[in-house]
Amino acid sequence: MNTTWSLERGGQLQSDNSVRFTVWAPRATAPAVRVRTAAGDVDHPLAAVDGQPGVFTARIEGIGAGTDYWYVLGGGAPALPDPVSRWQPHGVHGASRVVDPASHTWTDAGWSGIRVDELVIYELHVGTFTPEGTFAAVIPRLANLRSLGVTAIEIMPVAQFPGDRNWGYDGVGLYAVQNTYGGPDGLRALVDAAHSVGLAVILDVVYNHVGPEGNYLDAFGPYFTEKYTTPWGRALNYDDADSDEVRRFVVDNALHWITEYHIDGLRLDAVHGIFDFSATHLLEEIADAVRTQAALLGRSVVVIGESDLNDPKLLRDQSEFGYGLDAQWSDDFHHAVHALFTRESNGYYVDFGTIDAIADALREPFVYDGRYSRYRRRRHGASSRGLPRRRFVVAIQNHDQVGNRAAGERLGSLLTLAQVRVATALLLLSPYVPLIFMGDEFGETNPFQYFVSHGDEQLVRAVREGRRAEFASFGWGESVPDPQDDATFARSKLDWSKATREPHSFVLALYRDLLALRRDEPLLRPDGATLSVSHGNPGWITLLRTPIPGVTSYVKPLVAVFNCSDSEACVPMPTTHQGWHLRLSTDASAYGGSGCATAFVSSAQSDAPRRLLEPATASVLHIAPWTASLYQAAAD
Beta strands in 61-163 (DSSP E): 68-72, 96-97, 121-124, 152-155, 159-160
DSSP labels for 402-452? HHTSSS---HHHHS-HHHHHHHHHHHHTSSSEEEEETTGGGT--S------
Across 492-519, average pLDDT:
97
The percentage of the chain sitting over the pLDDT mark of 70, rounded to a whole number, equals 95
Q: Is the pLDDT of residue 207 over 50?
A: yes
Please report, for residues 35, 335, 523, the alpha-carbon distance to residue 356 in angstroms, rounded to integers and kept in the order given.
64, 12, 24
Decide: 334 and 297 in contact? Cβ < 8 Å: no
The gap from C-alpha 312 to its chain's centroid, in whole angstroms, comes to 19
Across 159-168, average pLDDT:
97
Q: Of 97, 120, 146, which closes a domain?
A: 97
Confirm whether 3 is domain-assigned.
Answer: no
Q: For the domain that residue 90 is a member of, what is the CATH number?
A: 2.60.40.10
Distance, CA of 309 to CA of 526 (rounded, Å) = 23
Neighbours of 636 (CB within 10 A): 6
Decide: 460 and 147 in contact? Cβ < 8 Å: no
Q: Is the pLDDT of residue 495 over 50?
A: yes
At 280 the pLDDT is 97
Distance, CA of 516 to CA of 30 (rounded, Å) = 62
Confirm whether 598 is domain-assigned.
Answer: yes
Letter for the amino acid at 621?
L
Q: Is the pLDDT of residue 607 over 60?
A: no
Q: Is the pLDDT of residue 1 over 50?
A: no
**Reported confidence tier of residue 464, pLDDT bands at 50, 70, 90:** confident
- Who's near 1: CB < 8 A, 6+ residues apart? none
The region of weakest confidence among 220-229, 351-360, 552-561 is 552-561
Confirm whether 430 is domain-assigned.
Answer: no
For the chain, how far is it from start to end, CA to CA, in angstroms?
58
Confirm whether 401 is domain-assigned.
Answer: no
Confirm whether 152 is domain-assigned.
Answer: no
Letter for the amino acid at 202?
I
At 474 the pLDDT is 62
Convert the pLDDT of each residue in 234-273 to its tens digit. 999 999 999 999 999 999 999 999 999 999 999 999 999 9
Burial degree of 470 (CB within 10 A; 0-12, 13-18, 19+) = middle
Please report, for residues 124, 441, 532, the alpha-carbon distance to residue 507 in angstroms, rounded to integers and kept in the order given.
18, 6, 28
- Of 525, 591, 589, 583, give the one whose Cα is nearest residue 559: 583
- Who's near 143: CB < 8 A, 6+ residues apart? 197
Neighbours of 16 (CB within 10 A): 9
Helices (H), 35-162: 126-129, 135-138, 142-148
The gap from C-alpha 348 to its chain's centroid, in whole angstroms, comes to 21
- Who's near 290: CB < 8 A, 6+ residues apart? 254, 255, 258, 266, 301, 303
Please report, for residues 8, 10, 128, 242, the alpha-carbon distance to residue 222 in angstroms, rounded to integers and kept in the order given.
20, 18, 35, 7
**Reported confidence tier of residue 578, pLDDT bands at 50, 70, 90:** confident
Angle at 602 between CA 598 and CA 606, to 5 degrees: 75
Of the CA atoms within 13 Å of residue 566, those in its CB half-sphere come to 6
Q: Is the pLDDT of residue 528 over 90?
A: yes
**Reported confidence tier of residue 616, pLDDT bands at 50, 70, 90:** very low
DSSP labels for 332-374? HHHHHHHHHHH---SGGGGG--SHHHHHHHHH-S-S-SS-EET
Convert the pLDDT of each residue in 345-396 to its tens digit. 998 999 999 999 999 999 999 999 999 999 999 999 999 999 999 999 999 9
Across 219-223, average pLDDT:
98
Confirm whether 402 is domain-assigned.
Answer: no
Distance, CA of 355 to CA of 208 (rounded, Å) = 35
Count of structural domains, the chain: 2
Q: Would you call 531 helix, strand, or coil by DSSP?
A: strand
Neighbours of 170 (CB within 10 A): 28
**What range defines the domain where residue 50 resides?**
10-97
- Of 381, 388, 349, give the one whose Cα is nearest residue 367: 381
Decide: 490 and 131 in contact? Cβ < 8 Å: no
Global pTM value: 0.95
Q: For the domain that residue 574 is a member of, what is the CATH number?
A: 2.60.40.1180
Q: Which helix (H) or strand (E) holds 609?
A: none
Letter for the amino acid at 260?
E
Residues identified as active-site = 269, 306
Decide: 489 and 127 in contact? Cβ < 8 Å: yes
At 599 the pLDDT is 36
At 600 the pLDDT is 35
Confirm whether 171 is domain-assigned.
Answer: no
Convert the pLDDT of each residue in 314-343 to its tens digit. 999 989 999 999 999 999 999 999 999 999
Burial degree of 611 (CB within 10 A; 0-12, 13-18, 19+) = middle
At 472 the pLDDT is 65
Letter for the amino acid at 164?
D
How many residues does this entry show for the chain?
Answer: 636
At 604 the pLDDT is 41
Across 615-625, average pLDDT:
74
Q: Of 46, 73, 97, which closes a domain?
A: 97
At 477 the pLDDT is 54
Across 54-72, average pLDDT:
96
**Reported confidence tier of residue 153, pLDDT bands at 50, 70, 90:** very high
The region of weakest confidence among 76-80, 377-381, 508-512 is 76-80
Angle at 528 between CA 302 and CA 392, to 5 degrees: 40
Q: Of 97, 131, 148, which closes a domain?
A: 97
Confirm whether 49 is domain-assigned.
Answer: yes
